[in-house]
Structure 1
Amino acid sequence: MTDPGHLRALAHPTRLRILSLLTGSALTAADVARELGLTHANASYHLRLLRDAGELVVAGEESIRGGRAVRYRHPWREEDRPGGASTGEVDPGAAELVVRAATQELQRRHRDRRRDLPGIVTDAELWVEEETWVRARELLLEAAALVHDGARAPRAEGTTLVNLSLFAFAMDPR
């Protein structure tokens, strides 16, 4: 079973934002604090929780004004994380916490969306043939890989801040 502590570390909107931020580039706590409008201490706290949960890897260190700054990055593909891909069951209670945090974060992102570029909002609970579900899931995985692999440093020239939130799963037909 997936460690509930690991999922609980993800169950906070700020930590979800940090993971997104560290997908495109390796940043220090000061960089994260500046980009997200956090205090340095708060950014360091969230980074420590994510690192301890195995969601971040150290991408380098540098000396800054007599101190040591650690750069972190988020290896978004499970196979790129220390220990490799997870094969265990997910703790339902901890997973629910992550869904709640993601829902809260999605509301903020939707409020902050650009109105001049088209987006997509869809919701469905449908009965489809299994082949349709398998193909839809493949396309969603491809879209997720496309935007994650295309992630760049915050505010890099030629980039647009986007949101891609996917919740796709087969339902229990009780």
Structure 2
Amino acid sequence: MADERTTEPDRPIIRIEHLSKRFGSLVVLDDVSFDIPTGKTTVLLGPSGTGKSVLLKNLVGLIQPDAGHIWVEGVDMCTASNRQKARMRKLFGMLFQDGALFDNLTAGENVAFPLRFHSRLNESEQRKKAEDALAMVQLPGVWDRPTSALSGGQRKRVGLARAIVLEPKV
């Protein structure tokens, strides 16, 4: 399959068409369609239990929809190979509801973690980039702090710093 990714300004970075997902008899997503324009901020907002997380899991290819299609930069995530999905996931910065921090790592090590696997930066460059991300979320000076010593809000911000440290497109 050819790689159809593009950065055309008129093409949305994400297009979702007629997406449906159910779990048993529970319909979670029913014929959902929308575009996310390139370069625009888009918010997915709704009450608990309305399918936001299910939509996002479909979007990044963690679960398959029952019907419909999702294109990310022109790549159909519903028919993409596992290798293509993994490559496309690198475009996303994900902030998990519970923070999803590693308890055995410090705050700074949590932020630097994706850099270890998805960058060619050396250790000191990784630390600098992670410290910059922590500063962006107003948490300078917490590099060595254990995650157990962070407040709930601080944990969220460490998670946000980790989500943005790779400078994702989405």
TM-score bracket relative to the smaller structure: under 0.3
Higher helix share: 1
Quick one: higher RCO (CA 8 Å, sep 6+), 1 or 2? Answer: 1
TM-score when normalising by structure 2: 0.26
